[in-house]
């Protein structure tokens, strides 16, 4: 940057070449897209980050029954216990969020259905389908398609984004 004035990517103010950060908004001269967004629209950035964080808290809860069954079945009781404690911790920490989500019937049903389907899937696999059955491969395929489909909807879909946005505004 030596010898050149530079224009801040976030607020478009011109800055002297020896400045590493914008004199008006504090954005770095070499800021990446995320940093620029943070300085351009701090409120929007914080909202987006917080909603991402809500989702990160919710996802382990959805998968926990599935993994609990696997660990129990494999005799890894210490890991199962750890998982149980972790889930109890997440639930306590996010109780308000969970209660808010449960007021939206459709969202609640979708999350429960997803979690229960995974649980039923693994129970069927363990107790009803022998290891050498050809349906094992199909089961794995189903698992991946089902999980990725849901994850896509959960992260990109309007329903959950809107719901979590409302919660963010409220809290
Ligand atoms: Zn700036």
Same-domain status, 16 and 59: no
Do both 74 and 134 map to the same domain?
yes
Q: Which residues constitute the domain of residue 121?
A: 42-170
User: Is residue 99 classed as helix, strand or coil in its secondary structure?
Assistant: helix
The C-alpha angle with vertex 160 and arms to 154 and 165, in degrees rounded to 5, equals 135
Our CA angle for 166, 158, 143, nearest 5°, is 120
CA of 36 from ligand 1 middle (Å) equals 9
Q: How far is the CA of 15 from the centre of ligand 1 (A)?
A: 8
Q: Is the Cβ–Cβ distance between 165 and 43 less than 8 Å?
A: no
Kindly state whether residues 31 and 72 are assigned to the same domain. Answer: no
Query: Quick one: which H or E segment has residue 6?
Result: strand 6-7
Shared domain for 36 and 46, answered yes or no, is: no
Q: Could you tell me the distance, in angstroms and rounded to a whole number, from the CA of residue 4 to the centre of ligand 1?
A: 16
Q: Is residue 81 domain-shared with residue 158, that is, in the same domain?
A: yes
Residues 10 and 85 in one domain: no
Cα 24 to averaged position of ligand 1 atoms, centre (Å): 5
Domain tally, the chain: 2
Residue 53 CA to ligand 1 center (angstroms) comes to: 27
Distance (Å, whole) CA 89 – CA 77: 18
**What are the beta bridge partners of residue 6?**
15
Is residue 55 domain-shared with residue 7, that is, in the same domain? no
**Token pair 């008006």: residue:** 24
Centre of ligand 1 to C-alpha 58, Å, is 35
Q: Do residues 108 and 129 both lie within one domain?
A: yes
In whole angstroms, how far apart are CA 151 and each of 8, 62, 116, 125, 158?
A: 36, 11, 15, 22, 13
CA of 1 to the centre of ligand 1 (A): 16
Q: pLDDT of 106-156, one tens digit each?
A: 999 999 999 999 999 999 999 998 888 888 888 889 999 999 999 999 999
**Residues 35 and 48 both lie in one domain:** no
- 32 CA to centre of ligand 1 in angstroms: 13
Instruction: Please spell the DSSP secondary structure of 113-158, one letter per residue.
Output: HHHHHHHHHHHHHHHTS-TT-THHHHHHHHHHHHHHHHHHHHHH-H
Looking at the structure, tell me whether residues 140 and 67 fall in a common domain: yes
Per-residue pLDDT of the chain (171 residues; tens, 9 = 90+): 457 899 999 999 999 999 999 999 999 999 999 999 999 999 999 999 999 999 999 999 999 999 999 999 999 999 999 999 999 999 999 999 999 999 999 999 999 999 999 999 999 999 998 888 888 888 889 999 999 999 999 999 999 999 999 999 998
CA of 168 to the centre of ligand 1 (A): 27
Ligand 1 centroid – CA 129 distance (Å): 61
Task: Verify that 105 and 26 share a domain, yes or no.
Answer: no
Whether residue 116 sits in one domain with residue 154: yes
Give the DSSP H or E segment for 15. strand 14-15
């Amino acid at each position: 940057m030596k010898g050149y004035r530079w224009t801040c990517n976030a607020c478009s103010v011109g800055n002297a070449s020896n400045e590493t950060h914008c004199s008006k908004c504090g954005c770095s001269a070499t800021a990446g897209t995320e940093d620029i967004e943070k300085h351009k629209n701090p409120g929007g950035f914080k909202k987006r980050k917080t909603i991402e964080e809500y989702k990160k808290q919710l996802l382990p809860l959805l998968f926990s029954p599935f993994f609990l069954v696997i660990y129990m079945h494999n005799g890894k009781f210490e890991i199962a216990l750890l998982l149980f404690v972790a889930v109890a911790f997440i639930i306590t920490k996010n109780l308000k969020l969970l209660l808010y989500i449960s007021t939206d019937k459709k969202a609640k049903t979708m999350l429960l259905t997803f979690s229960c389907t995974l649980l039923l899937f693994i129970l069927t696999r363990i107790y009803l389908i022998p290891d050498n059955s050809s349906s094992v491969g199909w089961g794995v395929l189903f698992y991946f398609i089902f999980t990725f489909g849901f994850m896509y909807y959960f992260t990109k879909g309007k329903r959950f984004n809107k719901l979590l946005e409302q919660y963010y505004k409220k809290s």
